């Protein structure tokens, strides 16, 4: 039985969604959450939609077993292919927040008669979910998207804020299709960690839309509307699970969550 004291469930294909978890912690410091990273199957960006739906269904069931009062799909590819699956499993009383719709709504409501760019994994870009969502909400916008498959593994290995990462980022952003854009959506939950480098490329002439911060504000609004906000000022408690534990993953979590955390292996596929 969910209550205002129940945790928020958050999941991603790996640890990139920890940027969303960190943003939620900042916006809602009294809320608890349960995080699940499907490290056994990452990255989702090159998996079939059917596989992604299968993984998401099992993870959603795991989070519901943990009595989560809401579920955040902190993965763009899973948001693109498995939202309905998670909504069906969660049922009518558990709100499900994905990372695409809040960002699409932000772009559609803040810009008119211009071009907006999107970067993300192959799976997210090939789904055209941002293009379809934003252009349906605001027909005056032209949405241009480019797959940037090297960025997520580069970030996971700690290669950012250096000359190597800036060269890779510049190569992707210099594509002709992005010429003249007014805003760029970071369509992967890894990408908030390279926001400064992207801003550096554009010399702050283009707004860089950080999905983690936008989604965190949406989570707060949804919980408020559903009367699920925690009513006490006690600090939140956090649990972190992965489907395949490695010490290197635990070490790299600090990059995304900005503090050391302990990962617990949960073999939900057995």
List helix spans (H) across the chain.
Answer: 18-27, 49-65, 76-90, 100-110, 122-127, 129-137, 151-156, 163-173, 195-202, 211-225, 247-257
Contact present, 79 and 100 (Cβ < 8 Å):
yes
- Going by C-alpha positions, the residue among 29, 14, 70 that lies closest to residue 243 is 14
Beta-carbon contacts of residue 65 (< 8 Å; ≥ 6 apart): none
- Give the DSSP H or E segment for 262: none
Is-catalytic flag, 188?
yes
Contact present, 21 and 35 (Cβ < 8 Å):
yes
Q: Which of 168, 188, 228, 266 is catalytic?
A: 188
Is-catalytic flag, 68?
no
- Going by C-alpha positions, the residue among 62, 94, 61, 69 that lies closest to residue 5 is 69
DSSP 8-state class, residue 33: E
Q: Which of 10, 22, 23, 75 is catalytic?
A: 75
Radius of gyration, alpha carbons of the chain: 18
Residues annotated as catalytic (active site), given as ranges: 75, 188
């Amino acid at each position: 039985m969910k209550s205002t004291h129940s945790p928020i469930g958050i999941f991603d294909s790996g640890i990139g969604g920890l940027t969303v978890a960190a943003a939620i912690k900042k916006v809602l410091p009294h809320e608890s959450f349960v995080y699940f990273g499907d490290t056994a199957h990452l990255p989702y960006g090159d998996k079939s939609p059917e596989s992604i739906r299968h993984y998401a269904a099992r993870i959603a069931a795991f989070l519901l077993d943990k009595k989560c009062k809401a579920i955040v799909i902190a993965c763009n590819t899973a948001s693109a292919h498995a939202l309905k699956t998670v909504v069906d499993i969660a049922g009518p009383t558990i709100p499900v927040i994905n990372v695409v719709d809040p960002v699409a709504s932000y772009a559609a409501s803040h810009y008119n008669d211009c071009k907006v760019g999107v970067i993300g994994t192959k799976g997210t870009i090939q789904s055209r979910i941002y293009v379809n969502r934003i252009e349906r909400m605001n027909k005056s916008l032209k949405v241009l998207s480019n797959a940037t498959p090297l960025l997520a593994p580069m970030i996971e290995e700690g290669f950012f804020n250096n000359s190597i990462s800036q060269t890779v980022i510049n190569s992707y952003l210099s594509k002709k299709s992005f010429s003249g854009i007014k805003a760029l959506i970071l369509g992967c939950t890894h990408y908030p960690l390279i926001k400064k480098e992207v801003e550096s490329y554009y010399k702050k002439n283009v707004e860089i839309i950080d999905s983690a911060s936008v989604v965190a504000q949406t989570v707060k609004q949804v919980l408020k509307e559903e009367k699920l906000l925690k009513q006490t000022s006690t600090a939140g408690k956090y649990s972190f699970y992965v489907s395949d534990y490695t010490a290197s993953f635990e070490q790299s979590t600090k990059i995304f969550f900005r503090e050391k955390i302990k990962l617990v292996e949960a073999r939900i596929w057995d």
